[in-house]
Structure 1
Amino acid sequence: MTKYAEKTNMYRDRIIVCSIKTRGSQLKTIQIYAPTTIYDDEDLEIFNEELGKALDEDKSKYNIVMGDFNAKIGKKDKHSDTQSMGPFGTGEKNVRGERLKNFAEERNLKIANTFFQKPEKKNVNMGVTRWNNQEPDRLYNDIKEKHVQGLWYYHPNRYRQ
């Protein structure tokens, strides 16, 4: 894999970019970890600006932005004409989810998790289940979204986090 990586770049401590040479084109993958809700809106704006710079630098035909956006996208509004979301969003949208949807719209990105139907989740807290094998009663939120630019998709269920 390293022989195909043309360039890697880190934007602050929350964004890393790897450009990969493929047959006839270039694939840019961007791994992110967005600021949590304990950070103020200014930190989120700085993060979004850095993410925008990462997308704009070294233009690529295919871009994948993946990671933890710390946002709830929710379900697509029935009357919405948004192209960034598919029909399979889950839960309730929060303010950061709306910002994320707008960012995806502006950048012509698709929120890949919303294009694939997922099984209904029961009340599960992934951390407790994974480490303690207990029956938790907390709700798990699907906030780890993948964004894909163009018509090239990968199946996010294969890469569950």
Structure 2
Amino acid sequence: MERRKVDILCVQETRWKGSKARSIGAGFKLFYYGVDSKRNGVGVVLKEEFVRNVLEVKRVSDRVMSLKLEIEGVMLNVVSGYAPQVGCELEEKERFWSELDEVMESIPTGERVVIGADFNGHVGEGNTGDEEVMGKFGVKERNLEGQMVVDFAKRMDMGVVNTYFQKREENRVTYKSGGRRTQVVLPDDWETTAEVIRETGRKMLGVSSGRRKEDKETWWWNEEVQNSIQRKRLAKKKWDMDRTEENRQEYKELQHTVKREGV
């Protein structure tokens, strides 16, 4: 973090049991959560100067946690996630995605969100049909876990940032074993990554005036808006229980409906 001038870093598979925050030296502090010293565990490392900006820490499970910070008047939510590996049971994978969805749903509209996660999957090369959430520079063919990442990005109107820049494969792969490869979350060139994030943000979100908007109130919600919100919540529960494409599409359409109504 010192060498690459990184102020905030998400870490996974920490394998530290407990729900704590501790200084780890060199002016950095680790917020972490784990229930077993032999498996899983997630954390977020902050430069000490940002520790005072932490407003909230949510430790959901040993696979998902988040920090909310206020930096120069901007609310920033940093989510650290560690998805089950390919060989894990489907129930465990669905539980992880459900927990991640719950964290995202709890973040107020208008706040910034960055997810630093080991999703244990790859979204594949090319982006035909998925241009709105990813670039062309993934690794190999998409697997089931990679499809879950793409589906999540579409549900949340987010982008798979590390697919927008072109790098040599040895710089895109951080783990190799038995012919299997896992794509790296961040490249070794932070300036490249920062520029990709800025450009992706401009394309997906536009450019704001920099003036802060007043927080949204709920007193004006009429019955139609309330019904839309309720339908969206029911669709979310339905999709969590049965992850079919039909249920996913229904939930996605209701998300857009609620956004159009200004909630």
Relative to the length of structure 2, the TM-score reads: 0.48
The question of whether the paired residues in 1 share the 8 Å contact of 2:127 and 2:136 is answered with: no
Does the Cα contact within 8 Å between 2:127 and 2:134 map onto a contact in 1? no
Larger Rg computed on CA atoms? 2
1:1-161 equivalent positions in 2, closer than 5 A: 1-59=50-108, 61-78=111-128, 80-121=129-170, 126=175, 138-142=179-183, 144=185, 151=201
Secondary structure of the structure 2 residue equivalent to 1:151: helix
Looking at structure 1, the residues matched to 56 and 202 of structure 2 have their Cα atoms a distance apart, in angstroms, of: 21
Unaligned runs of 5+ in 1: 129-136, 154-161
* 1:63-110 Cα deviation digits (max 9, x unpaired): 0111210111111244x2531101222211101111110111111110
1:29 and 1:116, CA in 2 relative to 1: closer, same or farther beyond 3 A? Answer: same
Once residues 68 and 24 of structure 1 are traced to their aligned partners in structure 2, the CA distance between those partners, rounded to angstroms, is: 29
Q: Which has the higher helix share?
A: 2
Give the Cα–Cα distance (whole angstroms) in 2 for the partners of residues 152 and 53 of structure 1. Answer: 27
CA RMSD in angstroms, aligned pairs only: 2.9
Aligned residues: 141
| SS of residue paired to 1:141 | strand
Question: CA-to-partner distance for each residue in 1:106-142, whole Å, 9 max, x for gaps?
Answer: 11110011012222329x87478xxxxxxxx845321
